[in-house]
Structure formats: C-alpha cells, structure tokens
C-alpha cells in the first residue's frame, strides 16, 4: 500500500514499526456540539482506511480521544473553552454536555457505518499522564512556567514547522489573527501544556498539579493518550487537514521532546468539505448534521457513498444536487445487486482479477473513487452471480455501504405475497386489462389506484403488466 505522508509530502510505501501490526491514532471530536458532516467526512475516510488495512491482513489497533476539556475557541490557546461555551449555551454542566454530545457523535457514526475505535479515551481520564509528561518536559528544558501556566518552548527545537509547505510568517499571522496575544509566552509559537490562573475563572473542570490547580492544554492530550495505548512508536496518525497546524505540529514537538526519538512515521490528513459559502464550520452558526440529512429523507449511507466518490486529499463540495446524484446512484446500485441470483458455483480464480483491481485502488493512496468503480465492474463482469455476491460482500468490508443487507431488504419488499393475496392482485390486473381493452380508462385507473392504496405498484411493459410492493 502506498499512502501520501503529510510529513514528507510524498506517496510512500506504508511501513509499520512492527511488521503486520498497525498502531493508528485518530483525533476525536470536541464534544461541545453536534458533529457536522464536514467533521464526519474525516471519520468516514479514517474508517475506510482502517477497514482497508484490516482487509489487507494487518492487525490494527485504533485509538481515539474524546476532547472534553482544554480546547479553546482558537487553536492558538486563546478564547473561551469550547466545553464551557457549550455548557453556557444549553444551561447544563460541562459533564452533561460532554456525555450528551459524545453519545450523539457515536449515534452518527453508527448511522454512517463507522466502526467504533478499539480504544476511546476521554481527555479528562488522563490527568496523571499529562502531569508526568509535562514534568519531564520542564526538567529537560523544553517547557517553562510563566504567569501561572506551563508553556512548551518551541525555540528549543531544531525544526518546529514539520509540515512546512506554507510560508512560516503566513502561518504565524493566520493562526493569531484577530485574537489576543499571550504576553506570558517567550516565543509567539509557544503553546500551553497546563493552564492555571490565566484561564481559570470560568473553567468548570480543574485538577491539582505541581504548578497549581488547573487543567491541561488541548495538544498534550493526544500525545499522552497515543503513547499510553500505542507505545513510543506510532505508525499512523489521522485527522482533518485543519489539524496539521498547530495541533499536530505541537503534538510532534512535545512527543518527540519527551521520548527523545522520532514518534509517528506517517500522517494522514483528510481535506475539507466545502459548501457554496466555503468550508463548513460550527463557528458560522449554521451547519449540516446527519440528523438533518435524515429529516430530508436521505439514508446516511448515501452521504458515505458521496464521500467515497471523491479522493480524501481533495476538497469536496457539498450541495443538495450532488447528494441527490449520490442517492440515485446508491439506489440503482442496491437494485442491481438485489436482482442478482443465488445460484451458480463460486470460482476463486475468476474472482481474482476483480479482487486485484479493488486492492490496487486501495493501495493507490486509498483511491476510493477507483474502488467504487471496481465494485461496478464486478456487476458488469462475466462471472457468476455467486461470484458477484462474494466479491461485493468482500469489497463492502472496506466500503461499508451495507449493500447486500439493503439489497436483501429491497428484494423482500419487492417480493410478491403468496397464496390468496397474489391471486387477488392478479385478478385485479386481469380486470384492468379487460377495462383497457374496452377503452374504459376510468375503470383501469380506478383499479390502478386501488392497488396503489394497497402498496402495489404496476409496471406496464410491451410484454404485459408486472407488479411489486412499494
């Protein structure tokens, strides 16, 4: 498998510290509000990546944090704590907000067929580990106390901008534009490891520490959670492209300073979901959720297919027209699968070229668009229906579209009732045919409407009239 590595800006052979095993960390949500579908694009693509690695035979350990403390409204450690902001908005406690939106996040993931990571760790459950790491960083000169807070000293690093495909000055200005400067910092790129007095007034969650009562900064949680569950060497770190700087940059700085060796070998970043108005963002006040898609009649798996039709390293533009196109494609795909027969022997040799085509798509920097094309090619291939079903089941272990499950439900829905019910339907169809022959159009329409009221749809063809349940 070749994957683009944000650290080197190149596609690389994906290699792991321990052959055959993958330690995978994915940045989780800050649970102060619902996840919008832009956030969820990242989780869908990370889910596909995890499932692709498992499909190819890797033993994967996937770890994810839940940020329930310390993430301020600006990623540059300024502004209000997002959790406190959410609690004020809804007149609840921070813990109530955290639990409610954590549950909502995993409900959305279930609807999108996103597998729950092997380890899910709330940030508030790791305070001793933060203190341990921060203490060493102070002792080794990588961190300092100022104004009651503990800061990481970026001047101690040989290179801070590890994802440096941007202008350094532009990054510095962009991150801090429109927010207050922290006068306690020695260098403008230093970041907080532990807050005490300066952000203390409204903070609901706080703990004792060697530096005073306070709470951890946002960046330290991911480093500590990853190191606790994945060890000192991380194979794969995933997140949205907006996390590359400063969040992931700061994770690398503190982790490698603590460990005293390289930490994570491969970085996987998913690009933005845009609308006509630009990048989708909670800060704009209006954003699209899975629940809203459902209210408008869309199966959440249609949105999953919509995401799979584009590459994860390209910005994806959302519109209702684009989603309608994905819904039509999903419905057509399920119907074609539902029409497959059950008979015929499976032939592994016949399946192999199609299976290889699918794997080649995954190995080409997780090209899900080509993987979906490989799925369509199975339906067109000169192999038995039994082969097609086996291949679709195998591919869907990665794509996660529940194709056979939905096809089976459709086939059951379309199946004709047995016995007297079927005979009654056929009798009415015969009466309608007689009415049409006699040009009694009103009677023909009346019979059609009667059957429609019973959930029966008539399909008129040159060969005669067939019917199905709707």
Q: Considering only the C-alpha atoms of the chain, give the largest distance between any 2 of them, rounded to a whole number of Å.
A: 97
Residue 365 falls in which region: left (phi positive, over 0), alpha (psi -120 to 50) or beta: left
Q: Are residues 26 and 148 in the same domain?
A: yes
Q: Are residues 17 and 102 in the same domain?
A: yes
Q: Are residues 256 and 298 in the same domain?
A: no
**What is the domain-level CATH number for residue 79?**
3.40.50.620
Q: Are residues 260 and 160 in the same domain?
A: yes
Q: How do residues 385-394 score in pLDDT, each as one tens digit?
A: 999 999 999 9
Split at pLDDT 50, 70, 90, the class of 438 is very high
Q: Are residues 143 and 285 in the same domain?
A: no
Q: Are residues 141 and 114 in the same domain?
A: yes
Q: How do residues 346-364 score in pLDDT, each as one tens digit?
A: 899 999 999 999 999 999 9
Last residue of a domain, one of 414, 439, 456: 414
pLDDT on residue 411: 83
Buried b (16+ CB within 10 A) or exposed e, 274-296: ebeeeebbbeeeebbbbeebeee
Q: How do residues 159-195 score in pLDDT, each as one tens digit?
A: 999 997 544 444 443 344 445 678 889 999 999 999 9
Dihedral over Cα of 396, 271, 288, 102: its sign = positive
Residue 276 resides in a domain: no
Q: Are residues 225 and 125 in the same domain?
A: yes
Residue 205 has pLDDT above 70, yes or no: yes
Q: How many domains does the chain have?
A: 3
Residue 99 resides in a domain: yes
Average pLDDT, the chain: 89
**Quick one: CA torsion of 176, 180, 184, 190, rounded to 10 degrees?**
-10
Q: Are residues 314 and 404 in the same domain?
A: yes
Q: Are residues 351 and 406 in the same domain?
A: yes
Q: Are residues 56 and 131 in the same domain?
A: yes
Q: Are residues 247 and 317 in the same domain?
A: no
Which domain covers residue 136, as residue numbers?
A: 2-270
Last residue of a domain, one of 235, 270, 305: 270
Residue 275 resides in a domain: no
pLDDT on residue 170: 43
Instruction: Tell me which of 3-17, 407-421, 423-437 is least confident.
Output: 407-421
Q: Are residues 327 and 235 in the same domain?
A: no
Last residue of a domain, one of 396, 414, 432: 414
């Amino acid at each position: 498998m070749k994957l683009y590595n944000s650290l080197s800006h190149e596609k690389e052979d994906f290699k792991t510290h321990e052959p055959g095993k993958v330690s995978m960390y994915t940045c989780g949500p800050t649970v102060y509000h619902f996840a919008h579908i832009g956030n969820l694009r990242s989780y869908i693509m990370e889910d596909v990546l995890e499932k692709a690695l498992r499909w190819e035979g890797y033993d994967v350990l996937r770890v994810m944090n839940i940020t329930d403390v310390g993430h301020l409204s600006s990623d540059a450690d300024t502004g209000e704590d997002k959790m406190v902001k959410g609690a004020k908005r809804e007149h609840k406690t921070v813990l109530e907000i955290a639990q409610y939106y954590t549950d909502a996040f995993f409900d959305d993931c279930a609807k999108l067929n996103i597998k729950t990571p092997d380890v899910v760790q709330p940030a508030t459950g790791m305070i001793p580990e933060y203190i341990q790491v921060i203490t060493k960083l102070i002792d080794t000169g990588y961190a300092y106390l100022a104004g009651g807070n503990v800061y990481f000293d970026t001047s101690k690093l040989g290179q801070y901008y590890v994802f440096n495909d941007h202008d350094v000055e532009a990054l510095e200005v962009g991150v801090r534009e429109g927010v207050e400067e922290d006068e306690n910092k020695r260098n403008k790129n230093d970041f907080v490891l532990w807050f005490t007095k300066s952000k203390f007034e409204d903070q609901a969650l706080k703990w004792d520490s060697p530096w005073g009562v306070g709470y951890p900064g946002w960046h330290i949680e991911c480093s500590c959670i990853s190191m606790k569950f994945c060890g000192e060497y991380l194979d794969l770190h995933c997140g949205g492209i907006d996390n590359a700087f400063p969040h992931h940059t700061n994770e690398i700085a503190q982790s490698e300073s603590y460990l005293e060796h390289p930490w994570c070998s491969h970085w996987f970043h998913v690009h933005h979901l845009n609308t006509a108005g630009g990048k989708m963002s909670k800060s704009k006040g209006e954003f699209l959720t899975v629940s809203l898609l459902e209210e408008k009649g869309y199966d959440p798996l249609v949105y999953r297919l919509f995401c799979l039709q584009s590459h994860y390293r390209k910005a994806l533009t959302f519109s209702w027209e684009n989603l309608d196109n994905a819904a039509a494609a999903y419905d057509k795909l399920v119907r074609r699968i539902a029409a497959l027969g059950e008979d015929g022997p499976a032939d592994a040799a016949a399946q192999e070229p199609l299976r290889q085509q699918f794997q080649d798509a995954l190995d080409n920097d997780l090209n899900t668009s080509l993987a979906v094309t490989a799925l369509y090619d199975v339906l067109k291939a000169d192999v038995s229906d039994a082969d097609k079903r086996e291949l679709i089941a195998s591919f869907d272990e990665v794509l996660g579209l529940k194709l056979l499950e939905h096809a089976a439900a459709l086939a059951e829905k379309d199946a004709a009732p047995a016995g007297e019910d079927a005979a009654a339907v056929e009798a009415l169809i015969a009466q309608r045919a007689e009415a049409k022959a006699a040009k009694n159009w009103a009677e023909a329409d009346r019979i059609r409407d009667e059957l429609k009221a019973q959930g029966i749809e008539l399909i008129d063809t040159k060969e005669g009239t067939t019917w199905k349940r709707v």
